[in-house]
Structure 1
Amino acid sequence: MIDERYLKLLAKDYPNAQAAASEIINLRAILSLPKGTEYFFSDLHGEHQAFLYQLKSASGVVRKKVDELFEQSLSEGERTALAKLIYYPESEYCAAKQREPAFDDWCRITIYRLVEVCKEASSKYTRSKVRKKLPESFAYIIDELLHADGGSNKPHYHSEIIRSIVSTHMSEEFITALCNLIQQLLIDKLHIIGDIFDRGPRADAIMDALINCHDVDIQWGNHDISWMGAAAGNWACIANVVRLGISYNNFDLLEDGYGINLRALSIFAEQTYHDDPCEVFIPHILDENQYDPVDIPLAAKMHKAMAVIQLKVEAQLIKKHPEYRMDDRILLDKIDFEKGTVTLDGKEYALRDKLFPTVDPKNPLELTHAETDLMKTIASSFSHSERLEKHIRFLYSHGSMYLRINSNLLYHGCIPLTSDGDLDIIHLYGQEHSGREYLEFLDGMARTAYFAPTGSTERENARDLMWYLWCGAKSPVFGKTKMATFERYFIAAPATHREKMNPYYTYIEHRSTCEMLLREFGLDPSSSHIINGHVPVKAGEMPVKGEGLLFMIDGGISKSYQSQTGIGGYTFIANSRYLALAEHKPLKSGCSVCETSPKVMVVEAIKQRVTVADTDNGADLSHQIEELTALLQAYRSGTIKEK
C-alpha cells in the first residue's frame, strides 16, 4: 500500500488522471525496448589519445554502422573518412574544407549521411530519450530530420532544411552536433574499472572527457586512490604521485594539467644532487612533453629527491599505524651506509645507488628541514589546484569501491582471499572486515578522508589509510604482498623485485570461487558476471576466467604494458544480444585513429534479447509504474482530486 501523502506529492508532477496514464503508457513502452549498450574500460593510465579514440569510435561500432549502411554505395575510403569525421568532427571538418573543391556540396551530402547513421544509432531509444540528448541549439532541426515519416512534401522540406544550414554557414556546428550525438547514442552507459591516473601523459584529459559523458561510473583503482589521497593532503600519496609523474616524464600533467608548481623541487634537487648522476632514476620516456619539457638529468635528480622523501614519509606512516603490519617496508634503517649495502629478509645486498645526502644514518626516517619545506610547498599546490579538486570530486560523486549493476559485479583489483580460497579477515582499527563489508568500510573511509572536517581525528586516520590502499598487502585495489619500490631502485637482484599476488588471482580460475564471490555480493551466479581490471592479461593468456563468470579486461591500453600484452587494450561490451571483448591494436605514435578495426570476440550469446525491463533501470521504472497506477486509482476513486 503506497502512502497517501506520497501520492499527493506525486500528484504535483502528474496533476490529473490523463497525465498519470500517459506516463504509465510511456514507461511501459520503454520497458519493451532493447537495453542500451554498456561499455567497460579498465586501467586507462593516462593514455588519453587511445582512450578517446576507443570511446569516440564506440570500440569499432561506429565503423560497423557506417559499413552496414553504406557498403553498397560508398567506397572503402569514403566510409573511412565518414567514420573518422564522426570520431573527430572539428579537425576532420577543417581538413575537408581545405580538401573539397565543392565544399558546400560536401556539407550537404555529409549531413544526409550523418542523419542516416544517427537514425540507426537512435533505433534502440524512444523519441523522448533521444530528444533529451539533442543539443539545445539544434534540437528541433535534428528531431525533424531523424523522424521523417515520408509523404510527398517531406523530401523537399528536409532538403530545404539542409540547404539552409549550409547557406547560413552553420554546417560546421551542425555536423559537429550530429557526430557528438552519434557517439552519445551508441554508448548508453560507460563503466571505468579503475586506474585512470599515472604512467600515461594526460589523465586530466581523460577526466575532462568522463565529466562530459552522460552516464558514467568509476570503480576506484589504487592509482586513483593515490591521487585522491594526495588531494586530501596525505604527504605519502603526494610524494608518490609526483614521483610517478616524474618517473614517466608526465610534467605536462603535473604542471600544465593541474598547476603543481615543481620549481621548488627542481631547485632542491639540483642543489642536493648536483654531483650525483642519478642514473637509476632516469625517467621512462614513453611520451614527450609539449608544454613543460624538463632536462632529463635534472628530471632524474628530481625523481630521486621525491623517491627518498617518499620512503621517509611512508616509513613514518607505518610507524604511526602498526595495524598496517608493514614494518618490512621500512628499509632506510636497514642500510649500512659505510658498506653501501642493505639487509633484506636476513640477506645483505649491495646498493645500486649509495649516495644519500639527505639521510641521517642516526635518524634515517626523518625529513630534513629543506625536505619538510619542500613538501609543504608541493602540498599547497595540490590543495589549491581548482582543476584537480573538480576531478577528484567527480571521482567521489561517480565512483566507488565496487558496483553492482545489471547483474554485473564491477571492481578494480581483488577481494582478498586466504591461501585456502576463503574470504580473508582483515583487522583494522580494532575491527574485523571481509568480503563485501570490507569494501563498503573502505568506501566510507575514502570519503571520510576527503570530506570529514579538516583537522579531525577521523579525517586524519582515513587520510592515512588512503596510502595503505595504494600499496597495503590486504588492500583490495592493490592485492600484492608488497610494493617493491625500494628494491627496484636500489637492489639489482630481480628476485627482490617480486610482488606476490593475492591468492584471489589463482582461485578466480575456478568457477566455484567466482560463484562464491557473486553470492557474497548478493548476485545470482547463474545470470551474473564479474568484471575486473588491475592485472594486465599477458599475451597468450585468456581474459575469461572462472569458466566464463569473470572477465579480466586490462589488456594494455597503457603503452608501458603493451610489451607484455601484445595488444592495445580491451573493451568489454554488453548489449541486448551478447557479451563481447573488443581487442584493440596499439595506437601508433602521433596517430589519433587506428588503421585496423578491433577484433571483437563474443564471449557469451544471450538466448533471449535483453530489454530495459531486465535491467536495474527497468526495475526502477516498474516501481514508478506501480506508484503511478496507485495515483491513477486514487484519482478515479476520488481519494485525490484532479487539477
Structure 2
Amino acid sequence: MPEQTTAYRRYLELLSEKFPTVRSACTEIINLEAILNLPKGTEHFVSDVHGEYDAFKHILSNCSGVIRERVADTFRLELTSAEQADLCTLIYYPHRKLRRLREEGVATDEWYAITLMRLVRLARYLSDSYTRSKVRKAMPAEYAYIIDELLHASPGEGDGRQGYHRRIVDTIVDTGSADDFVVSLASLVKRLAVDHLHVVGDLFDRGAHADKICDRLMEYHSVDLQWGNHDIVWMGAAAGSAACLAAVIRNNIHYDSLKILEGAYGVSLRELALFAEATYRADDGMSPVEKAISVILFKLEGQTILRHPNWHMEDRLLLGHVDVGRGTCEVGGRSFELRTRDFPTLDARDPYALSDDERRVMDNLLEAVRTSDKLRAHVNFLYEHGSAYLVSNDNLLFHACVPMNEDGTFHPVNHQGQLLSGRAYYDYADRLARRAWLEHDQVSLDWMWYLWCGRYSPLSGRVVKTFERTYFTDRSTWEEPRDPYYALTDDPATCRRVLEEFGCDPERGHIINGHTPVHASAGERPVRAGGRLVVIDGGFCQAYHKTTGIAGYTLIADPRGMRIKAHRPFASIADVLDLNADIMSDDDRFEVEPRPLTVGDTDTGVGIRSQIADLRALLDAYRAGELPERTARS
C-alpha cells in the first residue's frame, strides 16, 4: 500500500469499523458501482411562487405534468383519455377523489382491485430509476413489505405468482384497507416522479398563502431553496430588522394580503391601525394605515442608509426633501408633485427620527414577530434548506443576478471595509444573512434590508423606487434601472464567465434564475444565451398572467437532458376534481444529451466515486496485512 499519512490511516481504521471484512467492503463497492449506472434522478426547478398556494400545490401534485405523461406512457393502449384523466386526478388528490367516487357509487370492490393494480404498474415503471432500498424508504412503513412484494413482480412470472399478487390485492380490499393503499401508492408515484425540487426564490408576498407553501415544502421529500428578495425581507423581519418588518407590512398592505401576518402568523396590526386612524387623514386616495407604515418605512430606511455611507445610497434619502407645505419632493434639482401632503409625524429638523408613537408601534410589532412560533419555524426552514446560491450538477442557481459593470466585470461592493464581487460577494451575503438570524447584531440586520432592496443587492438587481411609487404622481419616476447583468447575460460569453466564477463547467453548465418575469406573450423566451441561461419566472402570481401570457414555468432536468414546461393558468382544485381539468403545459426540450445521463454524471456520482476509492484503499490495506479484518472473534 502506498505510504499513507497518519490521518488517512486513522480514517481507514474508522472506515473498517463500518466495513470490517474484505467481503463487506467488496459488497459495498459492488453496490456503489451499480448505483453509478442508474438513471440520473429527475430534478424540477420552479421560482417566484409568490404565495399562490393552489397553483403551486397542483404543480406539486401533478409533478408539473409528468404524472400525466407517465400515465399515458403506461396505459396509452389500454385506457381512454377520460380514464387516464380519472387516474391522474386520483393520484393528485386521492383523499378527495375517493370520497367523490364513493358518493357516486363508482368505488366498488372490483374498481378498487383494478385501480390498485394500475397504481402498482405505474409505481413499478417509475421505480426503475432507483435502488430497491430507496424505493422502499419512500413507502409508508406500515405497508412497505406488501407494496414491495407487489412492485417487484416479474413480467413473465407464472400463474402461481400472479395468483399470489391477486390474492394480496383481494385481501387489501376485503379488509377495508383499499383507501389507505390507494393513498399510499399515489404518494409513492408522486415521490418517484420527482427526485428533487429546487425553488429558486420568492415564496412570499403578492399571494396570501406563503405560509401554506412553506408547510407543504417542509413535508417534501427532497428540496432546496435559493433566497429571493421577497424571502430575505421576511427573514430579516423575523431576525429583528425593523426596516425589513416595515417593508413586509407595507408589501402586505399593497398586495392586500394582510391575513398572512394576522391569520397565519398571529401578528396583530390593530395597534398600527389605531395609531394610523388617530394620526392620518383618509381624504386623498391613500388609506391612513398605508400612510403610517410608509412614513415609518422611509424613516427606518433612512436611518439604515445613514449608518452605511459605504453603500453610496444617499440619493435614496428622499423623505428629507419633502416640502409638506407645497406638496412636493425635490430630486436631482427637480420638484415632483406628491399624492399627499399628510405627513404629521415628519420633523423637518430630523426627518428620519421616529416619533414616540411610531417607535412604540414598531417595538410591539417586532415583539409579536419574535414570539410567532409558526413564522420562526418557517424562517428556520428557509435557513436550513436555503442559501444565497447553489451549485448543483454544474448548474448555478440564484434568484436575481451577479452585480456587474457595463464592461462585463463583476461589480465590487464595499461592505465593512471589504471590496467583494462575484462569488466572494455571494458567500459574504450568505454568511451575514445567517449571522442576522443567530446573533441579531445591527450590521447584519441592516444587511438584510440591503439584500432586500440595496442598489447592488444580488437578490434584487435594480434601483428600487418604493418612495416614488408610493408618493409621486409622475409615473416616469417609477422606472427602476436594472443591473447591467440582465443585458450582458444575453451573451453566451458572459454566461460562461459567470459559470466559471462559481466553479461550474462553462460549456456544460447553466445559470438558472427567477426574479424577472418572462413576457412570453410578447415573444420572450426563458432559454437564452445559446442555452447557458434559463430564466424560470413565468408568473405564478395571478397579477402577472396578463403580462407573461402564462402561469409559471417548471424547468425539468432528467436523464435525457433539459426541458421547460410553460403552464397555462390554473382554474381551481374543485375543477380538477369535478372536470379532471388539469393544468396544461407546453413542453420545450431545448437540450438533448448524446446518451442518457446516469448517477455517475452527477455530483452524487462524484461523492460515490470518492467512497469507492476509499473502500479500495481499505481493501488494499486488508490484503497487504496493514489493517486486520475485524472478524466475529476479533
Whole-angstrom CA distance in 2 between matches of 1:91 and 1:269? 44
Q: Are residue 628 (structure 1) and residue 609 (structure 2) matched? A: no
Hey, what does 1:586 align to over in structure 2? 569
| TM-score (normalised: structure 1) | 0.93
Percent identical residues: 44
- Which of 519, 526, 545 is the equivalent residue of 2:500? 519
Q: How far apart, CA to CA, are the structure 2 residues paired with 1:100 and 1:251? A: 43
Q: What is the CA RMSD across the aligned residues, in angstroms?
A: 1.6
In structure 2, the residue matched to 1:391 is 378
For 1:100 and 1:26, the matched residues in 2 are separated by 48
Secondary structure at 2:391's aligned position in 1?
A: strand
Q: Check if 1:134 corresponds to 2:139.
A: yes
Q: Does 1:641 align with 2:622?
A: no
State the alpha-carbon separation in 2 of the partners of residues 196 and 619 from structure 1: 31
Length-normalised TM-score, structure 2: 0.94
Counterpart of 2:545, as a letter, is Q
2:168 aligned partner: 161
Give the residue type in structure 2 aligned to 1:627: D
Residues 114, 178 of structure 1: 8 Å contact kept = yes
Mapping of 1:431-580 within 5 angstroms?
Answer: 431-452=418-439, 459-480=441-462, 482-538=463-519, 539=521, 540-580=523-563
- Measured after TM superposition, the shift of residue 431 of structure 1 is 1.1
Match of residue 344 from structure 2:
357
Aligned equivalent of 1:70: 75
Alpha carbons 2:44, 2:196 under 8 Å: kept: yes
CA positional deviation for 1:589: 5.4
Q: Residues 193 and 609 (structure 1 numbering): CA distance in 2 closer, same or farther, change over 3 Å?
A: same
Q: Is the 8 A contact 1:193 1:411 kept in 2?
A: yes
CA distances 1:209-261 after superposition (whole Å, capped 9, x unpaired) = 21112221111111111111111100000111111112222233112221212
**Within 1, Cα distance between the matches of 2:575 and 2:461?**
34
Per-residue CA shift, 1:111-165, capped at 9, x if unaligned? 1111111111111111111112111111111111100132222222212222222
Q: What is aligned with 2:241?
A: 234
Q: Give the drift of 1:201.
A: 1.4
The unaligned stretches of length 5 or more in structure 1 are 281-299
Separation (CA, whole Å) in 2 of partners of 1:101 and 1:428 = 66
Match of 2:359 among 362, 372, 375: 372
Q: CA deviation at 1:590?
A: 6.4
Structure 2 residue corresponding to 1:148, chosen from 148, 153, 174: 153
The residue number in structure 2 matching 1:348 is: 335
Of 300, 303, 308, the match for 1:313? 300
Question: Residues of 1 paired with 2:470 and 2:574: CA distance?
Answer: 33
- State the AA in 1 paired with 2:419: E
8 Å Cα contact 1:50-1:592 kept in structure 2 = no
1:194 aligned onto 2:182: no
**Size of the alignment, in residue pairs?**
617
Q: Does 1:325 find its partner at 2:290? A: no
Tell me which residue corresponds to 2:266: 259
Q: 1:215 aligns with which of 212, 222, 227?
A: 222
Cα deviation code 1:265-303 (max 9, x no counterpart): 232223233x414624xxxxxxxxxxxxxxxxxxx4333
Q: How does 1:98-109 map to 2 (within 5 A)?
A: 98-109=103-114
Residue pair 2:41, 2:129 contacting (<8 A) in 1 also: yes
Could you list the runs of 4 or more consecutive aligned residues of structure 1 that deviate by over 4 angstroms after TM superposition? 589-594
| Partner Cα distance (2:573, 2:356) in 1 | 44
Provide the secondary structure at the position in 2 that maps to 1:12: helix
On the 8 A contact 1:227/1:237 being kept in 2, the answer is yes
> Residues 102, 372 of structure 1: CA spacing in aligned structure 2 closer, same or farther, 3 A cutoff?
closer
Whole-Å Cα distance in 1 between the matches of residues 629 and 541 of structure 2?
A: 61
Contact 1:278 1:304 in 2 (8 A): no
Distance 2:283 2:126 in 1: 57
Contact 1:53 1:592 in 2 (8 A): no
- Whether the 8 Å CA contact 2:54–2:573 is kept in 1: the answer is no
Q: Is the 8 A contact 1:635 1:642 kept in 2?
A: no
Q: Structure 2 counterpart of 1:303, which letter?
A: E
